């Protein structure tokens, strides 16, 4: 009778350990998901800032191309 009870106790302890590890994995996965979401928001904000900063440069670059591109006989089509 000792060995069956011993095996049952070991089985219960094994399931308990797996349960604790499963909960820890779930908590870490949730923490990782929050970190990924925060990073994604920061990347989005940086992209928006970059777009706002680049808009005047693009407009100026287009004006320079229109002004000097035709004066040199080039239309920008590679010919």
* pLDDT at residue 16, rounded to an integer: 98
Tell me, yes or no, whether 42 lies in a domain.
yes
Tell me, yes or no, whether 33 lies in a domain.
yes
Tell me, yes or no, whether 7 lies in a domain.
no
pTM: 0.59
Q: How many domains does the chain have?
A: 1
> Please, are residues 46 and 53 in contact by the beta-carbon 8 Å criterion?
no
Tell me, yes or no, whether 46 lies in a domain.
yes
> Which tops the pLDDT comparison, 69 or 74?
69
Span of 22-31, 37-46, 53-62 with lowest mean pLDDT: 53-62
Tell me, yes or no, whether 18 lies in a domain.
no
> Is it the case that residue 15 has pLDDT exceeding 80?
yes
Length of the chain: 79
* pLDDT at residue 69, rounded to an integer: 66
Range of the domain at 47: 23-59
Average of per-residue pLDDT across 12-35: 98
Tell me, yes or no, whether 3 lies in a domain.
no
Measured CA to CA, the distance from residue 57 to residue 62 in angstroms comes to 9
Measured CA to CA, the distance from residue 44 to residue 52 in angstroms comes to 12
């Amino acid at each position: 009778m000792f060995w069956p009870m011993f095996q049952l106790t070991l089985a219960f302890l094994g399931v308990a350990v797996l349960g604790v590890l499963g909960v820890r994995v779930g908590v870490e996965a949730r923490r990782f998901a929050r970190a990924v979401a925060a990073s994604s928001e920061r990347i989005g904000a940086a992209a928006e800032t970059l777009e706002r900063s680049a808009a005047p440069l693009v407009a100026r670059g287009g004006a320079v191309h229109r002004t000097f591109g035709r004066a040199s006989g080039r239309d920008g089509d590679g010919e």
